[in-house]
Amino acid sequence: MEDAQNKHFNFRNEAGLVVQKLLRDYQGGRAIDRIADSREPDRDVIVRVIAELFRIVYPGYYRDPNMTQRIFNMDAVISTVADDILINLSEQIEIALRYTEDYHQKAAADVREESQKIAIEFIRRIPRVREYLDTDVQAILEGDPAAYSKSEIILSYPGLYAITVYRLAHELFLLKVPMIPRIMTEHAHSKTGVDIHPGATIGKYFMIDHATGIVVGETTIIGEHVKVYQGVTIGALSTRAGQGLHGKKRHPTIEDNVTIYSGATILGGETVIGHDVVIGGNCFITASIAPNSRVNVKNQEELLARNG
Protein backbone atom coordinates (compact mmCIF):
# COMPACT_ATOMS: atom_id res chain seq x y z
CA MET A 1 0.00 0.00 0.00
CA GLU A 2 2.82 2.40 0.93
CA ASP A 3 4.79 1.58 -2.25
CA ALA A 4 1.71 2.31 -4.36
CA GLN A 5 1.34 5.74 -2.74
CA ASN A 6 5.02 6.55 -3.31
CA LYS A 7 4.65 5.72 -7.00
CA HIS A 8 1.60 8.00 -7.35
CA PHE A 9 2.27 11.07 -9.54
CA ASN A 10 2.74 14.20 -7.39
CA PHE A 11 1.91 17.20 -9.54
CA ARG A 12 3.14 19.83 -7.06
CA ASN A 13 6.45 18.10 -6.53
CA GLU A 14 7.03 17.58 -10.26
CA ALA A 15 6.07 21.18 -11.00
CA GLY A 16 8.61 22.43 -8.48
CA LEU A 17 11.35 20.27 -9.96
CA VAL A 18 10.69 21.27 -13.56
CA VAL A 19 10.56 24.99 -12.69
CA GLN A 20 13.90 24.71 -10.85
CA LYS A 21 15.38 23.06 -13.93
CA LEU A 22 14.01 25.88 -16.09
CA LEU A 23 15.52 28.51 -13.79
CA ARG A 24 18.92 26.81 -13.96
CA ASP A 25 18.70 26.94 -17.77
CA TYR A 26 18.68 30.77 -17.54
CA GLN A 27 22.17 30.78 -16.01
CA GLY A 28 23.97 30.04 -19.27
CA GLY A 29 24.95 33.63 -20.03
CA ARG A 30 23.46 33.49 -23.55
CA ALA A 31 21.69 36.35 -25.32
CA ILE A 32 18.39 34.54 -24.76
CA ASP A 33 19.06 34.29 -21.00
CA ARG A 34 18.77 38.00 -20.16
CA ILE A 35 15.90 38.11 -17.66
CA ALA A 36 16.62 40.68 -14.95
CA ASP A 37 19.92 42.47 -15.42
CA SER A 38 18.71 45.05 -17.96
CA ARG A 39 15.59 46.47 -19.54
CA GLU A 40 14.54 45.76 -23.11
CA PRO A 41 12.37 47.86 -25.42
CA ASP A 42 8.77 46.89 -24.75
CA ARG A 43 7.16 45.56 -27.92
CA ASP A 44 3.65 46.06 -26.54
CA VAL A 45 4.35 49.73 -25.84
CA ILE A 46 5.78 50.21 -29.32
CA VAL A 47 2.68 48.61 -30.88
CA ARG A 48 0.50 51.02 -28.87
CA VAL A 49 2.63 53.91 -30.14
CA ILE A 50 1.99 52.73 -33.72
CA ALA A 51 -1.76 52.82 -33.06
CA GLU A 52 -1.47 56.35 -31.66
CA LEU A 53 0.64 57.44 -34.61
CA PHE A 54 -2.14 56.34 -36.95
CA ARG A 55 -4.45 58.68 -35.03
CA ILE A 56 -2.28 61.70 -35.79
CA VAL A 57 -1.26 60.62 -39.31
CA TYR A 58 -4.88 59.97 -40.33
CA PRO A 59 -6.87 62.23 -37.97
CA GLY A 60 -10.55 61.42 -37.90
CA TYR A 61 -10.06 57.93 -39.34
CA TYR A 62 -8.55 56.31 -36.24
CA ARG A 63 -10.01 57.35 -32.89
CA ASP A 64 -9.91 56.31 -29.27
CA PRO A 65 -12.94 54.03 -28.78
CA ASN A 66 -13.40 55.53 -25.32
CA MET A 67 -13.85 59.03 -26.76
CA THR A 68 -17.41 60.06 -27.54
CA GLN A 69 -18.31 62.35 -30.41
CA ARG A 70 -19.68 64.85 -27.92
CA ILE A 71 -16.27 65.60 -26.43
CA PHE A 72 -14.36 65.26 -29.68
CA ASN A 73 -12.07 68.23 -30.30
CA MET A 74 -9.34 67.74 -32.88
CA ASP A 75 -6.82 70.15 -31.38
CA ALA A 76 -7.21 68.67 -27.93
CA VAL A 77 -7.09 65.10 -29.20
CA ILE A 78 -3.97 65.59 -31.33
CA SER A 79 -2.21 67.42 -28.50
CA THR A 80 -3.03 64.67 -26.03
CA VAL A 81 -2.06 61.84 -28.37
CA ALA A 82 1.17 63.54 -29.49
CA ASP A 83 2.16 64.12 -25.88
CA ASP A 84 1.51 60.48 -25.05
CA ILE A 85 3.58 59.37 -28.05
CA LEU A 86 6.46 61.61 -27.00
CA ILE A 87 6.50 60.24 -23.47
CA ASN A 88 6.28 56.56 -24.43
CA LEU A 89 8.52 56.77 -27.49
CA SER A 90 11.27 58.73 -25.74
CA GLU A 91 11.30 56.16 -22.94
CA GLN A 92 11.61 53.29 -25.43
CA ILE A 93 14.31 55.14 -27.37
CA GLU A 94 16.23 55.69 -24.15
CA ILE A 95 16.19 51.96 -23.45
CA ALA A 96 17.22 51.13 -27.02
CA LEU A 97 20.07 53.65 -27.11
CA ARG A 98 21.80 51.93 -24.21
CA TYR A 99 22.51 49.00 -26.52
CA THR A 100 24.76 51.14 -28.73
CA GLU A 101 28.45 51.73 -28.05
CA ASP A 102 27.96 55.49 -28.29
CA TYR A 103 25.54 55.56 -25.36
CA HIS A 104 26.38 52.50 -23.29
CA GLN A 105 28.80 54.36 -20.99
CA LYS A 106 27.03 57.73 -20.98
CA ALA A 107 25.28 59.16 -17.92
CA ALA A 108 21.61 58.29 -17.63
CA ALA A 109 20.58 61.96 -17.76
CA ASP A 110 22.47 62.46 -21.03
CA VAL A 111 20.88 59.41 -22.65
CA ARG A 112 17.45 60.52 -21.50
CA GLU A 113 17.95 64.00 -22.94
CA GLU A 114 19.12 62.59 -26.27
CA SER A 115 16.13 60.24 -26.46
CA GLN A 116 13.78 63.16 -25.82
CA LYS A 117 15.46 65.20 -28.57
CA ILE A 118 15.06 62.30 -31.00
CA ALA A 119 11.38 61.88 -30.10
CA ILE A 120 10.77 65.61 -30.66
CA GLU A 121 12.57 65.51 -34.02
CA PHE A 122 10.54 62.47 -35.03
CA ILE A 123 7.24 64.26 -34.36
CA ARG A 124 8.59 67.29 -36.22
CA ARG A 125 8.94 65.05 -39.30
CA ILE A 126 5.34 63.78 -39.24
CA PRO A 127 4.02 66.45 -41.68
CA ARG A 128 6.58 65.30 -44.28
CA VAL A 129 5.62 61.67 -43.70
CA ARG A 130 1.99 62.65 -44.25
CA GLU A 131 2.98 64.43 -47.47
CA TYR A 132 4.37 61.15 -48.79
CA LEU A 133 1.43 59.10 -47.53
CA ASP A 134 -1.04 61.40 -49.26
CA THR A 135 0.67 60.51 -52.56
CA ASP A 136 0.62 56.80 -51.68
CA VAL A 137 -3.14 56.92 -51.12
CA GLN A 138 -3.54 58.71 -54.45
CA ALA A 139 -1.40 56.10 -56.22
CA ILE A 140 -3.50 53.25 -54.84
CA LEU A 141 -6.74 54.97 -55.85
CA GLU A 142 -5.50 55.58 -59.37
CA GLY A 143 -3.95 52.13 -59.74
CA ASP A 144 -6.65 49.90 -58.27
CA PRO A 145 -9.99 49.87 -60.10
CA ALA A 146 -11.48 48.00 -57.12
CA ALA A 147 -10.85 50.98 -54.82
CA TYR A 148 -13.97 53.12 -54.37
CA SER A 149 -12.57 55.94 -52.25
CA LYS A 150 -9.56 57.21 -50.35
CA SER A 151 -11.41 56.58 -47.10
CA GLU A 152 -11.79 52.90 -48.03
CA ILE A 153 -8.07 52.70 -48.75
CA ILE A 154 -7.05 54.37 -45.49
CA LEU A 155 -9.34 52.23 -43.38
CA SER A 156 -9.00 48.84 -45.02
CA TYR A 157 -5.98 48.39 -47.28
CA PRO A 158 -3.20 46.33 -45.67
CA GLY A 159 -0.75 47.62 -48.26
CA LEU A 160 -1.24 51.19 -47.08
CA TYR A 161 -0.97 50.03 -43.46
CA ALA A 162 2.43 48.47 -44.20
CA ILE A 163 3.60 51.53 -46.13
CA THR A 164 2.50 53.84 -43.31
CA VAL A 165 4.35 51.89 -40.64
CA TYR A 166 7.41 51.70 -42.90
CA ARG A 167 7.45 55.46 -43.53
CA LEU A 168 7.23 56.18 -39.79
CA ALA A 169 9.84 53.56 -38.90
CA HIS A 170 12.13 54.86 -41.67
CA GLU A 171 12.34 58.26 -39.97
CA LEU A 172 13.44 56.61 -36.72
CA PHE A 173 15.94 54.55 -38.73
CA LEU A 174 17.37 57.76 -40.22
CA LEU A 175 17.60 59.16 -36.69
CA LYS A 176 19.78 56.12 -35.85
CA VAL A 177 17.37 54.65 -33.33
CA PRO A 178 18.24 50.96 -32.86
CA MET A 179 15.74 48.08 -32.61
CA ILE A 180 12.51 50.11 -32.52
CA PRO A 181 12.16 50.71 -36.31
CA ARG A 182 12.54 46.99 -36.95
CA ILE A 183 10.03 46.11 -34.24
CA MET A 184 7.58 48.47 -35.95
CA THR A 185 7.98 47.07 -39.46
CA GLU A 186 7.95 43.47 -38.25
CA HIS A 187 4.66 44.21 -36.48
CA ALA A 188 3.29 45.43 -39.81
CA HIS A 189 4.80 42.33 -41.44
CA SER A 190 2.94 40.07 -39.02
CA LYS A 191 -0.35 41.87 -39.73
CA THR A 192 -0.10 42.22 -43.50
CA GLY A 193 2.47 39.80 -44.90
CA VAL A 194 4.45 42.77 -46.23
CA ASP A 195 8.08 42.86 -45.06
CA ILE A 196 9.63 46.27 -45.72
CA HIS A 197 12.91 46.90 -43.94
CA PRO A 198 12.91 50.37 -42.32
CA GLY A 199 16.25 51.12 -43.99
CA ALA A 200 14.81 50.93 -47.51
CA THR A 201 14.43 54.21 -49.40
CA ILE A 202 11.06 54.61 -51.12
CA GLY A 203 9.84 57.61 -53.09
CA LYS A 204 6.39 59.12 -53.40
CA TYR A 205 3.32 57.50 -55.02
CA PHE A 206 4.23 53.99 -53.87
CA MET A 207 1.53 51.40 -54.44
CA ILE A 208 1.30 47.90 -52.99
CA ASP A 209 -1.63 45.84 -54.27
CA HIS A 210 -2.99 42.60 -52.76
CA ALA A 211 -0.47 43.05 -49.96
CA THR A 212 0.93 39.70 -48.99
CA GLY A 213 4.23 37.89 -49.41
CA ILE A 214 6.14 41.06 -50.36
CA VAL A 215 9.78 41.55 -49.31
CA VAL A 216 11.73 44.81 -49.65
CA GLY A 217 15.30 44.61 -48.34
CA GLU A 218 17.25 47.10 -46.26
CA THR A 219 19.35 48.74 -48.99
CA THR A 220 16.63 48.81 -51.63
CA ILE A 221 16.11 52.14 -53.37
CA ILE A 222 12.72 52.69 -54.99
CA GLY A 223 11.83 55.76 -57.01
CA GLU A 224 8.45 57.42 -57.52
CA HIS A 225 5.27 55.99 -59.03
CA VAL A 226 6.29 52.36 -58.46
CA LYS A 227 3.66 49.60 -58.27
CA VAL A 228 4.35 46.29 -56.54
CA TYR A 229 1.98 43.32 -56.54
CA GLN A 230 1.68 40.29 -54.28
CA GLY A 231 4.52 37.86 -53.82
CA VAL A 232 7.26 40.20 -55.05
CA THR A 233 10.75 39.93 -53.57
CA ILE A 234 13.27 42.78 -53.87
CA GLY A 235 16.15 41.12 -52.12
CA ALA A 236 19.84 40.29 -51.85
CA LEU A 237 21.49 38.03 -54.41
CA SER A 238 23.39 36.15 -51.71
CA THR A 239 23.71 36.41 -47.93
CA ARG A 240 26.41 33.77 -47.46
CA ALA A 241 28.87 36.35 -46.12
CA GLY A 242 26.46 37.14 -43.28
CA GLN A 243 27.54 40.11 -41.15
CA GLY A 244 30.39 40.74 -43.57
CA LEU A 245 27.78 42.30 -45.87
CA HIS A 246 26.52 44.71 -43.21
CA GLY A 247 26.37 48.26 -44.52
CA LYS A 248 26.91 47.26 -48.16
CA LYS A 249 24.44 47.78 -51.01
CA ARG A 250 22.85 44.34 -51.27
CA HIS A 251 19.44 45.08 -52.77
CA PRO A 252 18.25 46.46 -56.12
CA THR A 253 17.51 49.97 -57.24
CA ILE A 254 14.08 50.46 -58.83
CA GLU A 255 13.75 53.67 -60.83
CA ASP A 256 10.59 55.73 -61.44
CA ASN A 257 7.37 54.46 -63.04
CA VAL A 258 8.17 50.75 -62.68
CA THR A 259 5.50 48.08 -62.33
CA ILE A 260 6.42 44.71 -60.79
CA TYR A 261 3.74 42.04 -61.13
CA SER A 262 3.02 39.14 -58.80
CA GLY A 263 5.62 36.56 -57.97
CA ALA A 264 8.54 38.44 -59.51
CA THR A 265 11.95 38.26 -57.82
CA ILE A 266 14.61 40.96 -58.26
CA LEU A 267 17.96 40.41 -56.56
CA GLY A 268 21.33 42.06 -56.14
CA GLY A 269 22.84 45.35 -55.03
CA GLU A 270 24.13 46.13 -58.53
CA THR A 271 20.79 45.40 -60.17
CA VAL A 272 19.09 48.53 -61.51
CA ILE A 273 15.61 48.38 -62.98
CA GLY A 274 15.38 51.35 -65.31
CA HIS A 275 12.52 53.81 -65.40
CA ASP A 276 9.23 52.82 -67.04
CA VAL A 277 10.02 49.10 -66.95
CA VAL A 278 7.23 46.54 -66.60
CA ILE A 279 8.26 43.23 -65.04
CA GLY A 280 5.80 40.43 -65.60
CA GLY A 281 4.67 37.84 -63.10
CA ASN A 282 7.12 35.17 -61.87
CA CYS A 283 10.18 36.72 -63.52
CA PHE A 284 13.54 36.11 -61.85
CA ILE A 285 15.89 39.08 -62.32
CA THR A 286 19.52 39.18 -61.19
CA ALA A 287 20.94 41.86 -63.49
CA SER A 288 19.99 45.34 -64.63
CA ILE A 289 17.14 46.02 -67.04
CA ALA A 290 17.26 48.98 -69.44
CA PRO A 291 14.58 51.70 -69.21
CA ASN A 292 11.28 51.24 -71.04
CA SER A 293 11.70 47.44 -71.26
CA ARG A 294 8.92 44.89 -70.96
CA VAL A 295 10.11 41.76 -69.18
CA ASN A 296 8.26 38.46 -69.09
CA VAL A 297 9.18 34.87 -68.35
CA LYS A 298 9.88 34.15 -72.03
CA ASN A 299 12.12 37.12 -72.82
CA GLN A 300 13.88 37.74 -69.48
CA GLU A 301 17.02 35.75 -70.35
CA GLU A 302 17.36 37.61 -73.65
CA LEU A 303 17.00 40.99 -71.93
CA LEU A 304 19.44 40.08 -69.17
CA ALA A 305 22.03 38.90 -71.69
CA ARG A 306 21.58 42.04 -73.78
CA ASN A 307 21.85 44.38 -70.78
CA GLY A 308 24.75 42.41 -69.28
Quick: pLDDT tens for 193-248.
999 999 999 999 999 999 999 999 999 999 999 999 999 999 998 766 566 667 78
pTM of the model: 0.87
Top-confidence residue, 39 or 92: 92
Are 186 and 209 contained in the same domain? no
Q: How much is the pLDDT for 307?
A: 64
User: What CATH number is attached to the domain comprising 150?
Assistant: 1.10.3130.10
**pLDDT band, very low/low/confident/very high, at 306 (cuts 50, 70, 90):** low
- Owning domain of residue 226: 200-308
Q: Are 27 and 33 in contact (CB under 8 A)?
A: yes
The reply to whether 101 and 172 lie within a common domain is: yes
Q: How many domains does the chain have?
A: 2
User: CA 128, CA 140: separation in Å to the nearest integer?
Assistant: 19
> Is 222 found in the same domain as 130?
no
The CA angle 198-47-129, to the nearest 5 degrees, is 45
Query: Are 65 and 107 within one domain?
Result: yes
Please work out, in degrees rounded to the nearest 5, the angle formed at the alpha carbon of residue 284 by the alpha carbons of 278 and 181: 85
How many CB atoms are located within 10 Å of the residue 51 CB?
11
SS3 273: strand
46 and 190 together in one domain:
yes
User: Who contacts 43 (Cβ-Cβ below 8 Å, separation ≥6)?
Assistant: 183, 187
User: What is the per-residue pLDDT for 72?
Assistant: 60
Domain boundary among 170, 194, 218: 194
- Has residue 164 been placed in a domain? yes
